[in-house]
Amino acid sequence: MDPAGVRRVFAEAKEGRRDFLRSAFAAAAAGVAAAGVRAAPAPADGDPNILQLPEHSRALGQAVALNDGYGKPSKYESNVRRRQSPGLTQTDQASVSFAPLQSLFGIVTPSGLHFERHHQGWWDIDPSKHRFMINGNVKTPKVFDMDEIMRLPSVSRFHFIECGANTAMEWGNVAVPTVQYTHGMLSCSEFTGVPLITLLQMAGVDTRKNRFVLAEGADGAAQTRTIPMELVESGEVLVAYGQNGEMLRPEQGYPLRLVVPGVQGVSWIKYLRRVKVGDMPFGARDETIGYVDLMPDGQHRQYSSIQECKSVVTTPSGGQVLLDKGFYNITGLAWSGRGKVSRVDVSVDGGRNWRTARLQGPVMSKCLTRFSLDWVWDGRPAIIQSRAIDETGYVQPTRPQLRAVRGTRSTYHNNGIQSWLVQENGEVKNVQVS
Amino acid sequence: MDPAGVRRVFAEAKEGRRDFLRSAFAAAAAGVAAAGVRAAPAPADGDPNILQLPEHSRALGQAVALNDGYGKPSKYESNVRRRQSPGLTQTDQASVSFAPLQSLFGIVTPSGLHFERHHQGWWDIDPSKHRFMINGNVKTPKVFDMDEIMRLPSVSRFHFIECGANTAMEWGNVAVPTVQYTHGMLSCSEFTGVPLITLLQMAGVDTRKNRFVLAEGADGAAQTRTIPMELVESGEVLVAYGQNGEMLRPEQGYPLRLVVPGVQGVSWIKYLRRVKVGDMPFGARDETIGYVDLMPDGQHRQYSSIQECKSVVTTPSGGQVLLDKGFYNITGLAWSGRGKVSRVDVSVDGGRNWRTARLQGPVMSKCLTRFSLDWVWDGRPAIIQSRAIDETGYVQPTRPQLRAVRGTRSTYHNNGIQSWLVQENGEVKNVQVS
């Protein structure tokens, strides 16, 4: 607007002609905006000032607090969703949905995209009716309601959770197409709750004699798992009600879930209703029939519940396409059930040469760590791998190293190095490097 | 089940009578479960084994990957929502919705509950059509599409964002009822994006001569703000596309937003379409008409955009009710636009005595920090306050200290100590301690 125009705007405004003020300001905004967007569509609109502007730069948008005051992702992101693997399980309730790792950033998994693994479907349990009991070898068995738990001292911590069966298909020669299906039973959240040891102490536990607890869920599966008292005593095991700032989601055990950092997901009992204290492992159903590692000699390994150090490149990964040569930011996730990740190496030639990746801070214990590495793709085939090392010095094994010890018939605890082949046409696929 | 029952289950299973197997397992689960829940409702059901069990412990639940593969909170949490303050603004588009701080845990704000502040409503902009331009005093003006930005080296960082007008009502003698309305223009996320300095360097910026940039949004408000080059050079200012692991939400500027850690929210330009480089502040509309501090002498203070050290107790807080005497976990949030929070003190007697609260790690720079303190309420009236100190040594001022310097006619940048009165009946209300 020229100076005369400005004077006119203020004169009109004084007289209360707000409509004019609005349109004048819109025109001013349009003048600024036209410089900003080169390729904006030209709407069929009479006003020459706004010819170059998309609608969102010249009209009134949406109001606040829509959708019952709870926001949703963009409609353009509908492809970013958790996915069930067709045919993997016989029912949709005793099933799995995988997190879309290929589309995620940083380390926090949005709760709406957190992977699901149910043994008998999920429930939305009324928290006013939910109770949590401590019994077994304690002086005074206790029953807590949610109000009683939520007024106790709480902590909040960032931790990953990984299903023991994550990456299971890679044991065989089935190279499933995307990182969502190879590694998507992995998520990471800020959990809030009361350390289990606090509640056990209220019940008068004697931890010298009683080295195990049994945790039990209130869903139809009545999922039960033995947890070593050593982990409970560390203060790390939480009776959690919060996840990523809000109450747990129903699929994640609302209103109460056991958080067992570093341990496979099946032990993070959802809909937690009971912890029983005992002096030996409980040998629950899923500690004997499932979640055991079949070894090459035909025996199976039990109580192997710590998730060992592991990593995976999420971009570029299977199903993605590199559109042309040039710079790319190779990025992925690393984690260890034994503590912090100390280093991640990345290879673009199938493991012959390795470069050390950048780790994004803060690097937290038993939490995902985001790594990245600059890479200029020359257009030739490349096999991309990552190898994580944790603070204990443990090095993530190659696929052949893992098979030499564990054989090929396991379902659980596959932490081998993942290989992605970038083909000449830019298409990325899952390959198994022997 | 007795041993005979077990034998029968396995015999039936071998014959393929899966239905029997299922019901037998359900009965076994029921036996375990009945011990766990004391007060479960007794359904009118013929099977004596499941008389004591709620439906969720004996039936098949919901399937995975429902709701288009994107989960939602529990139906019992519908009260946890962002809320518009009735009558605060003339339209619902140039308005505010506040985050429900009283119901949140830890430091991450769920994206669905992140506060909203729009100047002309929000849009869901097609990312394939969005462009980001760098122009002004640069060698080579640049236009980027989203693909070009997303392949560059990125970082992920946790930061708070606070509207400069947060806690504005407390300047007057209007004690709004809840912490959602007093402090709810505050949220915290993990943001992912490209440091702005990287993009400016690609355009050939000379930062010795050019000490300011103008950032501009593509919504109807064409929101524009001056950012000092000093902040950009630090690498902290991001051209962000990710928030809490996924793409930005539409209300937060999808697909591109400027992240300016420590600075008031209005500078975190949403729908970012342009950064212009210059050698002096740009004096944009909202740097002259709005977002200025009216001082006691009638002058106004401009470019006061850093959010100074501040804290607030979120539980107990206005509108909550303590049901009885006894133990409570006093908890709240502290933050500083100048770096890390180094200490938080809490008073339960209106500021006469202070105790140092526990800080939940990791304590990150320009990020929310959760604090908590054990408290045994004796049933008498108590005035609860928190006082944060940051790593520069700055101490959050009392309300009278703040007013002595700033007067009472400001709208912006109120970081005074908040007081909550716990009444004898347990009801908590906002009070202004003079």
Buried b (16+ CB within 10 A) or exposed e, B268-277: bbbbbbbbbb
Q: Alpha-carbon distance B385 to B348, whole Å? A: 7
> In degrees to the nearest 10, what's the CA dihedral of A333, B251, B275, B240?
-10
Q: Is the pLDDT of residue B186 over 70?
A: yes
Question: Out of A131, A156, A218, whose CB is closest to B39?
Answer: A131
Q: Alpha-carbon distance A122 to B318, whole Å? A: 35
Q: In angstroms, what separates the C-alpha of A209 from chain B's closest C-alpha? A: 23
Give SS3 for A76: helix
Question: Out of A63, A69, A255, whose CB is closest to B93?
Answer: A63
CB-CB contact of B39 with B47 (8 Å): no
Q: Alpha-carbon distance B336 to B131, whole Å? A: 33
Q: Across-strand partners of A300? A: A294
Q: Alpha-carbon distance B288 to B176, whole Å? A: 28
CB-CB contact of B419 with B431 (8 Å): yes
More confident residue, B304 or B24: B304
Residues from chain B that touch A154, judged by Cβ atoms under 8 A, are 105, 329, 331, 372
Average pLDDT over residues B265-285: 96
H or E element at residue B181: helix B179-183
CATH fold label, A89-301: Sulfite Oxidase; Chain A, domain 2 (3.90.420)
- What angle, rounded to 10 degrees, do the helices at A3-14 and A18-36 form? 140
Residues from chain B that touch A368, judged by Cβ atoms under 8 A, are none
Q: Alpha-carbon distance B328 to B105, whole Å? A: 15
What pLDDT score does B225 carry? Answer: 95
More confident residue, A49 or B245: B245
**A310-431 is classed CATH 1.10.10.1150:** no
Q: For chain A, what percent of residues have pLDDT higher than 90?
A: 76
Q: Considering only alpha carbons, which residue of chain A is nearest residue B37?
A: A131
More confident residue, B293 or A375: A375
Q: Are strands A272-278 and A131-136 parallel, antiparallel or unpaired?
A: parallel
Q: Considering only alpha carbons, which residue of chain A is nearest residue B93?
A: A63
Residues from chain A that touch B120, judged by Cβ atoms under 8 A, are 60-61
Q: Is the pLDDT of residue B26 over 70?
A: no
Q: Does B352 touch chain A (CB under 8 A)?
A: no
A56:B372 CB<8 A: no
What pLDDT score does A290 carry? Answer: 82
A110:B111 CB<8 A: yes
| Count of C-beta atoms within a 10 Å radius of residue A370 | 27
Q: Is the pLDDT of residue B30 over 60?
A: no
Q: Give residue limits of the domains in chain A.
A: 3-57, 89-301, 310-431
Confidence of residue B90 (pLDDT cuts 50, 70, 90): confident
**Average pLDDT score, chain B:** 89
Q: Of A45-54, B45-54, B356-365, which one has max mean pLDDT? A: B356-365
Just give the CATH number of B86-301. Answer: 3.90.420.10
Q: Alpha-carbon distance B157 to A106, whole Å? A: 8
Q: Considering only alpha carbons, which residue of chain A is nearest residue B223?
A: A29
Q: Alpha-carbon distance B91 to B89, whole Å? A: 6
Q: Alpha-carbon distance A191 to A147, whole Å? A: 18
What pLDDT score does B155 carry? Answer: 98
Taking a contact as any Cβ pair under 8 Å apart, which residues of chain A between 375 and 434 contact chain B? none
| Count of C-beta atoms within a 10 Å radius of residue B82 | 26
What pLDDT score does A35 carry? Answer: 29
Whose CA is closest to A281, among A207, A232, A214, A206? A214
Q: In angstroms, what separates the C-alpha of B25 from chain A's closest C-alpha? A: 9
- Per-position DSSP letters for B275-339, written without gaps between them: EEEESS----HHHHTSS-EE-TTS-EE-S--B---EEEEEES-TT-B--SSEEEEEEEEEE-TTS
Q: Is the pLDDT of residue B52 over 90?
A: no
Q: In angstroms, what separates the C-alpha of B7 from chain A's closest C-alpha? A: 16
Q: Alpha-carbon distance B159 to B252, whole Å? A: 14
Residue written as token pair 């984690």: A335
What pLDDT score does A51 carry? Answer: 54
- Per-position DSSP letters for B2-60, written without gaps between them: -HHHHHHHHHHHHTT-HHHHHHHHHHHHHHHHHTT-SS------S-GGGTT--GGGTS-
CB-CB contact of B105 with A156 (8 Å): yes
B93:A61 CB<8 A: yes
Q: Alpha-carbon distance A140 to A143, whole Å? A: 10
Taking a contact as any Cβ pair under 8 Å apart, which residues of chain B between 10 and 69 contact chain A? 26, 29-30, 32-33, 35-41, 54, 56-65, 68-69
Q: In angstroms, what separates the C-alpha of A173 from chain B's closest C-alpha? A: 26
Q: Across-strand partners of A194? A: A239
Average pLDDT over residues B275-295: 90
Q: Does A174 touch chain B (CB under 8 A)?
A: no
Token couple for B21: 């197997």
Picking from A80, A108, A134, A370 by the largest number of B CB atoms within 10 A of its own CB, the best residue to mutate is A108
Question: Out of B120, B131, B246, whose CB is closest to A80?
Answer: B246
Q: C-alpha angle A419/A421/A422, rounded to 5°?
A: 140
Strand order in the sheet with B83-84: B83-84, B96-98, B116-117
Could you report the per-residue pLDDT of B198-240, keeping only the tens digit for each?
999 999 999 999 999 999 999 988 899 999 999 999 999 999 9
Give the pLDDT of chain A (434 residues) as one tens digit per residue.
344 433 443 444 445 443 433 333 333 333 333 323 333 333 344 445 545 789 999 999 999 999 999 999 999 999 999 999 877 888 888 899 999 999 999 999 999 999 999 999 999 999 999 999 999 999 999 999 999 999 999 999 999 999 999 999 888 877 799 999 999 999 999 999 999 999 999 999 999 999 999 999 999 888 999 999 999 999 999 999 999 999 999 999 999 999 999 999 999 999 999 999 999 999 998 888 888 888 999 888 888 899 999 999 999 999 999 989 999 999 999 999 999 999 999 999 999 999 999 999 999 999 999 999 999 999 999 999 999 999 999 999 999 999 999 998 888 999 999 999 999 999 999 998 87
Residues from chain A that touch B274, judged by Cβ atoms under 8 A, are 35-36
Q: Alpha-carbon distance B35 to A399, whole Å? A: 45
Comparing A89-301 with A310-431, is the CATH topology the same?
Answer: no
